[in-house]
Structure 1
Amino acid sequence: MRINDALYGFFILEPVLVELIQTKPVQRLKNIHQGGASYLVNPHWNVTRFEHSIGVMLLIKKLGGSIEEQIAGLLHDISHTAFSHVIDFVLNNEEQDFHDKIFEKTIQSSEIPFVLQKHGFDLLSILPIEKWPLLEQPLPLLCADRIDYTLRDLSTYNMISLDDASEFIDKLRVIDEKICLETIEAAEWFVKAYYTEVIDFFLHPLNVYGYAMLTDILKLAIDKQIVYFEDLLLDDSTVWKKLIDSKDHEVLQKIKDMSRNVISDEKNYDIHQKKKVRIIDPLVIVENVQTKAASELSNKVIELNQHALETSLKGTYIRILNK
């Protein structure tokens, strides 16, 4: 199977990857939006977990990762519920990691172990997912997951160009199982891009409003037994249809309210929301062999990180217009 990705180019996939992509759990991700409620307030914010998962797999392949790590990359978001991280707000889960808690159970209860075994792979050789160094690294380091969702979102939403993204990808190298950058300029570019994603986009007033409203809608629907917790293990469109088909006046009014306009307003605000703090500090190759954190080499990175920290801790204050 040949696959062409806008960010990473053409690849030929191994049979195990082809068959895994066709499984129901992976196909379900086509109806799980990366931005949770984002597509409900702006239909152009429509990147899916499926596109991202394919991208992470391909980036790992491009960086020389093993077939096992490519499998892990493909499957790493398999347990995301409908509306992605919105469920963390519905469940008041401050760590925003509910999908991690149900990851192994989700895979074990699917056809994925059978497909792996059919192709000579043991699920235990893939789990735990956190063991793969190209796929996952703690902040502030780079990893395939973090790189792909940043580049994919921003390029799809025309906040960066594909040419700039491609130029950045060409600067990626792997040293001691960690993703590093060839130049400080590439590091500075990505730090700025990353904060465009996690500050300007994640904390965009409309995005915050969508999250807050959908959280309220889902909590209300669960209380009224319109939606059950098990429904959230399905996909966005299925749950959304249940909400619409409920004909419940209160739920439908809140859905209608999602189309209101909002602005940033720290003094006269209706909603204040924080998301988890994300600070990035990529490793940069120096003298061909050593690596240093970008913040050791660039005042620009220090300034960007400080601003991002302050903004994240403050959160977003929004006022709803035409109430």
Structure 2
Amino acid sequence: MKIHDFIYGSFHLEPVLAELIHTQPLQRLKKIHQGGASYLVNPKWNVTRFEHSVGVMLLIKKLGGSIEEQIAGLLHDISHTAFSHVIDFVLDNPEQDFHDQIFEKVIQSSEIPSVLQKHGFNILSILPIEKWSLLEQPLPSLCADRIDYTLRDLSTYNMISLDDACKFVDELRVVDGKICLKTIEAAEWFVKAYYTEVVDFFLHPLNVYGYAILTDILKIAIAKQIIHFDDLLSDDETVWKKLIDSKDPEVLKKMKDISKKVINDERNYDIHQKKKVRIIDPFVLVGNARMKKATELSTKVRELNQYALEKSLKGTFLRVLNT
């Protein structure tokens, strides 16, 4: 199977990857939006978990990761519920890791273990997903997951140029199993791009508003037993239709409210929301194989980190306009 990605280029996929892509759990991700409620407030904010999962797999392949790590990359978001991280707000889960908590159960109850076995792989050699160093790294390090969602979202939404995203990928290197950058200039570019994603986009007033209203809608619907937990294991489209079909006046009013306009207003606000603090500090190659953190080399990165920390801790204050 040949596949083309607008960021990483064209690749031939091994049969196990091709078959996994066509399984129901992977295909389900085509109807789960990366930004949770974002597509409801701006239809152009429509990147899906499927696109991201395939992208992570291809980036790992491009970086020379093993076939097992490519499989892990493809599967890493398989347990995301409908509306992605909105569910963490519904469940009052500040770590925003509910999908991680149910990951192994979702995998084991699917056809994925049998597909892997058919091709000579064991699901136990893939799990736990956190063991793969290219795929996942704790903040503030780079990893394929973090790189892909940043480049994919921002280039799709014209917040960075596709040309710049592709040039950045060429600056990536792997040393001792960790992703690092060839130059401090590339690190400075990515740090700025990353904060465009996690501050300017994640904390964009419309995004914050969409999250808040959709959280309220889902909490009401669960309390009234309009939807049940198992419904959240379907997809955005299925759950949204069930909400509409309920004809519940309170739910329908809230669904209509999602189209209201909002403005930043710290003094007279209706909604205040914070999201998980995300600070990045990539490793940069110094010499042939020695690595240093970007903050050790760049005043600009240190300033950007301070800016992002302050913005994240402050959060977003919104006033809802009734006109």
- How big is each residue's C-alpha offset from its partner over 1:62-100, in whole Å with a ceiling of 9 and x where there is no partner? 000000000000000000000000000000011110000
Q: Distance in 2 between matches of 1:222 and 1:165?
A: 41
Q: 1:288: how far off?
A: 1.8
Q: Distance in 1 between matches of 2:157 and 2:291?
A: 32
Q: Distance in 1 between matches of 2:107 and 2:254?
A: 34
The corresponding residue for 1:285 is 285
The corresponding residue for 1:295 is 295
Please list, as runs of the form range in 1=range in 2, the aligned pairs for 1:21-170 lying within 5 A after superposition: 21-170=21-170
Q: 1:4: how far off?
A: 0.4
The alignment status of 1:256 with 2:294, answered yes or no, reads no
- How big is each residue's C-alpha offset from its partner over 1:86-121, in whole Å with a ceiling of 9 and x where there is no partner? 000000011110000000000000000000000000
Structure 1 residue identity aligned to 2:288 = N
Secondary structure of 1:319 counterpart: strand
- How big is each residue's C-alpha offset from its partner over 1:20-40, in whole Å with a ceiling of 9 and x where there is no partner? 001100000000000000000
Q: Distance in 1 between matches of 2:224 and 2:153?
A: 35
Gaps of 5+ in 1: none
Q: Distance in 2 between matches of 1:265 and 1:286?
A: 45
Secondary structure of 2:10 counterpart: strand
Q: Distance in 2 between matches of 1:201 and 1:288?
A: 36
Identity %: 81
Q: Distance in 2 between matches of 1:77 and 1:206?
A: 24
The corresponding residue for 2:305 is 305
Please list, as runs of the form range in 1=range in 2, the aligned pairs for 1:232-251 lying within 5 A after superposition: 232-251=232-251
- How big is each residue's C-alpha offset from its partner over 1:25-56, in whole Å with a ceiling of 9 and x where there is no partner? 00000000000000000000000000000000
- How big is each residue's C-alpha offset from its partner over 1:182-238, in whole Å with a ceiling of 9 and x where there is no partner? 000000000000000000000000000000000000000011111111100110000
- How big is each residue's C-alpha offset from its partner over 1:260-283, in whole Å with a ceiling of 9 and x where there is no partner? 000111110000000000000000
Q: Distance in 1 between matches of 2:288 and 2:321?
A: 54
Secondary structure of 1:180 counterpart: strand
Q: 1:322: how far off?
A: 1.7
The corresponding residue for 1:174 is 174
How many residue pairs end up in the alignment? 323
Give RMSD over aligned pairs: 0.5
Q: What is the TM-score when the length of structure 1 is the normalising length?
A: 0.99
Spell out structure 1 runs of 4+ moving beyond 2 A. none
Q: Distance in 1 between matches of 2:115 and 2:224?
A: 39
The corresponding residue for 1:19 is 19
Structure 1 residue identity aligned to 2:308 = A
Secondary structure of 2:266 counterpart: coil
Q: What is the TM-score when the length of structure 2 is the normalising length?
A: 0.99
Secondary structure of 2:272 counterpart: strand
